[in-house]
Each structure stands twice: as structure tokens, then as C-alpha cells.
Amino acid sequence: MSQEKPHISSYRSHVFVLAALIVLTGISVAVTTLELGRLDTLVAMLIAGAKAGIVLVWFMHLKFDNKLYTIFTVLVIVVFLLVLYVTFFDYSYR
Amino acid sequence: MSESTKSNHESFLEYKGKYRGILGWILSTDHKRIGLLYLYTMLVFFSVAAILGLLMKIQLIAPGHTIMGPATYNAMFTMHGIIMIFIIVVPGLPAVFGNFFLPLMIGAKDVAFPKLNLASWWIYVIGILIVLTSQFMGDGPPDTGWTFYAPYSFQTPANIVPALVGAFVLGFSSILTGINFVVTIHRLRAPGMKWLKMPLFPWTLYATAWIQILATPVIGITLLLTVMERTLGVGIFDPALGGDPILYQHLFWIYSHPAVYIMILPGMGVISEILPVFSRKRIYGYKAIVLSSLAIAFVGYFVWGHHMFTSGMSGRALFAFSFLTFLVAIPSAIKVFNWVATMYKGSLIFQTPFFWAVSFVFVFMIGGFSGLTLGSLATNVHLHDTHFVVAHFHFIVFGGTGFSFLAALHYWFPKMFGRMFDASWANMGWLIFFAGFLALYLPMFYLGIMGMPRRYYDYLPEFHGANILSSLGAILMIGGALIIIVNLVRSSRYGEKTNDKNPWGGKTLEWQADTPPTLENWEDIPEVTEKPYEYK
Amino acid sequence: MEKNAEHTHVHRDDEGDKLGMWLFIFTELLLFGMLFLVYAVYRYRNPVAFQLGGEELDVFLGTLNTVLLLVSSATVAMSISAIQKGLKKHALVFLGITLLIAVVFLVNKYFEWGAKIEYGFYPGGEALLELGHGTILFFGLYYVMTGIHALHILIGIGLFIYVFQQIRADKIHSTDYIWLENTGLYWHLVDLIWIFLFPLFYLIH
């Protein structure tokens, strides 16, 4: 496995990814000036999720690495979200 | 180079590395030496915590003040819990036998990160020392119980902070061991050892290591938050500052329930190694054991609430946690069927490791069933915080992890030390220990149902009879433990020498290595063609 | 990478080292994850106080720090690309920029915290204790979460300095750069956490 030639990302691709992340940050800041009420949190979290996804896939190289890392990452996120969900069985109905 | 190549033919117990004497051990990165370092450290602290337990049982032999007052009793059960949980049972099997046998069983020369492995032991020792300072500094030893429940844990004047920090450091050691094992299993299996040709002990270590990686940070941050609450006055769990103490319980058990599986899963692995060897039969349902181990690790994450049925959670949460708890019982029960079916029609060989393994299955079943009793809501309200709970978790944690630890110790003893233990003393030790164990904990089920609460130094006169039996059982069990320990320590030095690679007739890889193994385990890395446990 | 006096061979397994780093990252994700869980519970129970608390924070400073961290994530990724191509000078420049940004981030944090502490807005501080429970929780979490995050930045700075030296000494080069790669992964993790901290504390109303 380590004998495989590593994928080398170009500088350009990193700059593109960075641009996308900064644009998303801008959108996220701009959206808060709108009065979305309860949707506010949802939108902010969705944008943050998208940014996190971009960082994971490109900067952290999940796209080009062994698929094992992707599977593990998804599993870990699922475990965390389930723990959050199960915790709110308590708080949502207290 | 040439010098160390030469030393590769000496046993790991004897070779001379860069350092001599004790430094050659406490600075060694050899997984086998590190495993023994953990073993010796645990032996010392197990003795301490067992004596604390014995003293508590002597206090409870009669109602009222017999040998200690309430404050001492509180400090004792706290320290007994902290040592037994964080220093003995959680690291227990992975740190001792995982370190020693994981590389041997998968045909590797060492773990993936030998230096990190040594660092884990050092962090472990530092953690222990920090925990111990809590006893001798500040305003008295901790009296919160090993659970450090909020808000008491930041209200008591006792010296909680070192205990919290120490447990945090111990958690770090556990995480690093987990990372090491996962990488080792992924990267260092011998050629031909596909995932489904891996023996079951490494499989359970794999599942355990994932829990160590994903659950231990939860207790880490929880303890850290409590430290900050106590020292800096940050409002997190304190109701006076708006916090929710029940959230502390959530976080604590999000770790501590999976931690129970850190304790028991490798034990299940050990039993799955021993039973086929002493039945001369292929393990029944290899894949079922693998899958149920992974299932336990996963589902075990979502059942933590069953420790909190009476703390004021929402009704909806109670139902969810009770349901999930019943769910996690299924994979555990599958394993019991596997073990019994493995023995069925086998040519049973009645030797010490087998006795330990069978008694494990027995006590594990009692522990498991009493767990279901506690997992159902209605009975839980009655039994919560009584001696029934104490009996239940001692059957699992001590009966499960402790018995499998001793099973593993006897099973692998000749490989580890190159000497045989004295079998008749070992068997007698087992019998006395087992009898003492049952006499100690079975009455607690009764006491709990009758309503005797846990964590009190005193009780009502009507509980006297059963408490006498329980306390006598404790004395008997400690006697058995003494016989076992003295026998093993003696045998490790003076026992009959053996170079027999495979005294029990095992089929897994560790029995192909020299006895005791050499520095890097193998002349040539073995090639694996068969599945484990292929008895014809 | 594992050189060992007692072992007859030098065992090197970059893929294994990377797997180890990922597992460590998962540990960190769960550690911060639990802080997010605490935040979620208390926000759910104190929606108004958390909203008002958020309005006290400086959106400009928060946005600036967000952009800074994103840029530093890009530069550390570029320094990995550079080292893979054997461009030592480029790698050092990119890494130097990353290191600089990390320091600037902490300086900003210092001023941000400093301003609040001056007003008595710190755990146990008088101005904070006069306010309601929800606000105490909000600022408690603010300090704890950004504080632990800042601690990770500090560790990252240490790693960058070490890796920088190693590249200069040609210990890290185009065929052996796992230390740089793992440091990069760590730094992206620090960025990931901030990506969620930023909207939760500064933005959501």
C-alpha cells in the first residue's frame, strides 16, 4: 500500500478549495443578518457542515487516500450524532 | 547490529539491551516486557484495592461501628473503586495480555508503535501517582465514589482534583494503547492472515481498542470540566450557576458504560481462545463471535442511560434506554451459546485454565441476567443503589474480567515465563476463590432485594445474617487469591522449566513461537494458511 | 521512523503512522464533540440567554480568525504538496506562513479575551455572576471551548516549529514526509473544530 505513488495536489487546487471555504464563510455571516428565526441555527450548521466536508475531503485528502479513512470518519461522525440524538431523548421530553 | 542480532536468540526475559538491570525493563520497548510491567504494577495495586475491599467487608460483618466510621468507609469505597476501575480492570486485559500476545497471535515482531507503547506505561504510572496524592494531600481523601457525581464532587472539601486529574491521565494511557492496537492489527498481521483468519482474542482487542479511542475522550473532557468547575468556578454542572447535574451523569456514563465493554470484551476473547483448546474442538460460530463483539462495541455506546433510571430523566428517555439495554444483551448471549456449543461433545481436558474459563461462563451468565433485571424499569426503581447493583457489577467486572484475567494468566503462564505453575495449588486456589466469590456476592443479591442500600457503613439488624455470610465469603476469597498469587509468583521463579512451545496443544500462532519468546518473537515471520482453531 | 536500539530492523510504515494520526483525530473529535453536546443541551434550555450572549461577541474578530485559520489550512496543505514535489524552499515558506497565522490567531484571541475579562466577564467574575444562569453558562462554555481550542493551536505551533527544523535539516524530504503530513492533518482538525465554534458562538441569533 505504501508503495503506491501518493497523489500530489496542485497549489491551484488548494487555492480553489480555500476560495470556496471563504465564500461559504461569507455566506454564513451574511445569512445571520437576515431574520430566519429558528431556521437560523439549521442554516449555520448546514454551511459549517459543508465547510467541514470540504476540509475533510480535499485538505485532509480523504478523496485520494485509502477508502478506509473515509469509512472510519463517517462511522465516527455517525456515532457522535447518535449520541447527541439519544441524549435529546432526555432533554426534549423532560 | 551484530550484538543485537545475537540477542535475538535469547528469551525476552534474559536478553541484554542497551540498558541493564531494572532500566532494561522500565525503558524497554519490547511489547512482552511492557506487558509484564503492567502485570506487576497491577498486581501491586490489585492487592491494595483488594485489602480495602476486605476491610469494608469486615466493617459490614456486624451492624454499627466495627472497625471504621462513616468517613473512613466513604474514602475506602471511593479508593477501592478508583483503583479497581481506572487502574486495574479498564487497562487490565489489553495492557497485560494484549501487549504480550497481540503481536504473537497475529505474527508480528512488536506493536506498531513500540515507543508509544512504553510511553503509555509511563503515563499510566504517572496517572497512578497523581491519583495516590489525593490520599495524602489537602483536606482528606476523596469521598465521592469513583463516579465523582456532580454537584457533590465540587462541594465536598475532600481532595478531589488530583483524583480527577489522575483519572484523566490514566485515560490518556488507555487511548494511546487503543490507537497502538488498531494500527497494529491493521498493518502488522502476518502474511496470509486475512481478517477472518485472525484469532478471537485479537478481534475482541480490536473492538475494545475502538471503544478506548472513541469513549475515553468523553470521560477526559468530563473530568476536565469538573476540575475547571472546582478550581476556576466555571459554571457547567453546578445548578447554582444554571448547570444541570444530570448532564454530568450523562457524560460520565457515555464513557463509563462503554468502559464496561472495554473491561469485558477482551475477557470474552480470552475465553474464546481457551475453550476450543481444552475441548479439542473448533470454536463454534467464529463469525458470530466476531460480529457480536463488534455489535457489542457499537450498541454499547447507546445504553448509558440505564445507570440513571432514577435520576430524573424524561420518561421517553427511560423507555429508549431500557429498550437499548435489552438489545445489547443479545450479542452477549450469543457468545454464551457459542462457548457452550464449543464444549458440547468435545474431548474436555480438565486443567486450570479450563476451570477458570468454565467458571467465567457461569458467573458471567449470573451477572448478565441480573443486568437484565436492572435494565427493566420497574425493578430498577426498587433495586437502584442497593446491594443488588453491587452484586451485579461485581459478577460482571470481577467475575467477568477478573476470572478471564486469571484464566489468561494460567493459560499463557508457561509461554510468558518458560516455567510451569504448580497445578494442584492452582486448582485448589481456584476452588477456594470460586467458592469465596459466590459466598461473597450471592448474598448481596438477596440483601439488595430486601432493600439494603449500597455505600453505607451501617445497616439495619435484619440484614445481619446475610452480611456475615458475605463477609466470610470475602475472607475465603482473599485466601484463595493469596494461594493463586503466591503459587504463580513462586512458579515464575522456581517452577519447572519448560521449553515446550505448545504445552496445551493450542492452534493459534503464539504457540509456534519459542517459549519464552525471543526478543523479536520470530526467526521468520510465519505464514498463515489455516483458520485458527482447526482441530480435526 | 521507529528507530529502536533493541530492535534489529528499522521499521517504517508511513501508512500505519497516518492511520495512527487519524485515530488520534477521532479521539479529538469525540472530545470536542462532547463539548458541543454540552453546548447543545444548554442552548436548548436557555435559548434567549445564549442568543444575547452571542450578540456580545465581536463578529468581525470571529470572522477574521475564521478566515485566518482557513488560509493557514490551505498553506499547510500547500507545503505538503511542495515537499512531495521536492521543493524544500516552498515548503518552508508555506509552513512559515502557517506558523505566523497561528500566532496571529492567538494574539487576536488574547485581545478578545482580554477585553471581556476587563469588564469582569470571566468565570467567577462579578459582572458575569450578576447576569442570569443562561449567560453564565454561555460564557463558561465560551471560555472553556475556545480555551481548549487555543491550547490545540499552541500545540500546533510547537509541532510546526519542530517540523520546520526537520525540513531545514533535510530530515523531512520528498520521500519521507509523514511528520509534515500528520502535522497537517492535526492542523486541519484544529480548523474543523473552529468551523463549528465560529457560527455557534458568534453567528447564530
Q: From first to last of its 536 residues, what are the pLDDT tens digits of chain B?
A: 334 444 457 889 888 778 888 999 999 999 999 999 999 999 999 999 999 999 999 999 999 999 999 999 999 999 999 999 999 999 999 999 999 999 999 999 999 999 999 999 999 999 999 999 999 887 889 999 999 999 999 889 999 999 999 999 999 999 999 999 999 999 999 999 999 999 999 999 999 999 999 999 999 999 999 999 999 989 899 999 999 999 999 999 999 999 999 999 999 999 999 999 999 999 999 999 999 999 999 999 999 999 999 999 999 999 999 999 999 999 999 999 999 999 999 999 999 999 999 999 999 999 999 999 999 999 999 999 999 999 999 999 999 999 999 999 999 999 999 999 999 999 999 999 999 999 999 999 999 999 999 999 999 999 999 999 999 999 999 999 999 999 999 999 999 999 999 999 999 999 999 999 998 899 889 999 988 998 87
Which CATH architecture describes the domain B29-512? Up-down Bundle (1.20)
Q: Tell me the C-alpha distance between B248 and B65, whole Å.
A: 33
Cα separations (Å) of B263 from B84, B86, B371, B398, B423? 11, 10, 15, 10, 27
Partner C contacted by B254 (CB < 8 A): yes
Single out the residue of C92, C20, C113 nearest to residue B181, CA to CA. Answer: C20
Give the pLDDT score at C168: 96
Q: Which of residues 182-241 of B touch A (CB under 8 A)?
A: 186, 214
Classify residue C203 by its DSSP letter: I
Q: List, as ranges, residues 47-66 from A with C-beta within 8 Å of C.
A: 47-48, 51-52, 55-56, 58-60, 65-66
Can you give the pLDDT at residue B16? 79
Kindly list the distances between the CA atom of residue B238 and the CA atoms of B223, C34, C173, in Å, as whole numbers in the listed order. Answer: 14, 17, 52
A65 domain-assigned: yes
Q: Which of residues 76-95 of C touch A (CB under 8 A)?
A: 77-78, 81, 84-85
List the subunits that have 3+ CB pairs under 8 angstroms with C: A, B
Interchain pair B214, A79: CB under 8 A: yes
Write the residue in A25, A48, A65 that is nearest to C70 by C-beta.
Answer: A25
pLDDT at A5: 72
B327 at A interface, C-beta within 8 A: no
Residue owning grid cell 475453550? B275
Segments making up each domain of chain B, as ranges: 29-512
Q: CA-to-CA distance for B444 and C103, rounded, in angstroms?
A: 59
CB of B262 within 8 A of CB of B187? Answer: no
| Alpha helices per DSSP H over B150-283 | 160-187, 200-232, 245-279
DSSP code at position B29: -
Question: Cis (ω within 30 of 0) for the bond into B516?
Answer: yes
CB contact under 8 A, A90 and B302: no
CA atoms within 13 A on the CB side of C16: 20
Give which of A4, A21, A23, A75 to mutate to test C binding, by max C Cβ within 10 Å: A21
Model pLDDT, residue B7: 47
- What is the Cα–Cα distance from A39 to A31, expressed in whole angstroms? 10
The reported pLDDT for the residue numbered B278 is 97
Q: Looking at the partner chain, which of A25, A52, A84 has a beta carbon nearest the beta carbon of C192?
A: A52
User: Nearest Cβ partner of C199 from A2, A17, A48?
Assistant: A48
Residue percentage of chain C with pLDDT more than 70: 95
> Once rounded to an integer, what is the mean pLDDT over residues C7-32?
88
Q: Per-residue DSSP letters for B371-413?
A: HHHHHSHHHHHHHTTBHHHHHHHIIIIIIIIIHHHHHHHHHHH
Rounded Cα–Cα distance for residues B222 and B228 (Å): 10
Task: Please indicate whether, in this complex, the C-beta atoms of B317 and A93 are within 8 angstroms of each other.
Answer: yes
Could A18 and C14 be called an inter-chain contact, meaning their C-beta atoms sit closer than 8 Å?
no
Residue of C19, C25, C14, C16 whose CA lies nearest to C190: C25
Instruction: Name, in order, each residue with C-beta under 8 angstroms of B529's C-beta and a sequence gap of 6 or more.
Output: B192
Any domain includes A84: yes
Residue A1 confidence (pLDDT) above 60: no
For residue B356, what is its C-alpha cell? Answer: 477458570
pLDDT of residue B392: 97
CB C22 within 8 A of CB A69: yes
Distance CA B421, CA B504 (A): 13
In a domain, A26, yes or no: yes
Q: For residue A39, is it within any domain?
A: yes
Please judge whether B112 and C20 are an interchain contact, meaning their C-beta atoms are less than 8 angstroms apart.
yes
Does residue C10 carry a pLDDT above 70? Answer: no
Place of cell 457499537: B298
Q: Do C5 and B182 touch (CB under 8 A)?
A: no
Average pLDDT over residues C53-74: 95
- Asked if pLDDT for residue C8 goes beyond 60, the answer is no
Q: How far is CA C49 from CA A37, C60, C121, C134, C138, in A?
A: 15, 21, 15, 5, 8
Contact B17 C45 (CB under 8 A): no
Enumerate domains of chain C plus CATH numbers.
Answer: 14-203 (1.20.120.80)
Q: Do B88 and B137 form a contact (C-beta atoms < 8 A)?
A: no
Reduced to 3 states, what is the DSSP secondary structure of residue C171?
Answer: coil
- Number of residues in chain C: 205
Q: Which residues of B touch C134 (CB under 8 A)?
A: 242
Q: Is residue A37's pLDDT more than 80?
A: no
Q: How many domains does chain A have?
A: 1
Q: Is the pLDDT of residue C155 over 70?
A: yes
Which distant-in-sequence residues (6+ apart) come within 8 Å of B175 by Cβ?
A: B212, B213, B216, B217, B220, C27
pLDDT at C1 over 60: no
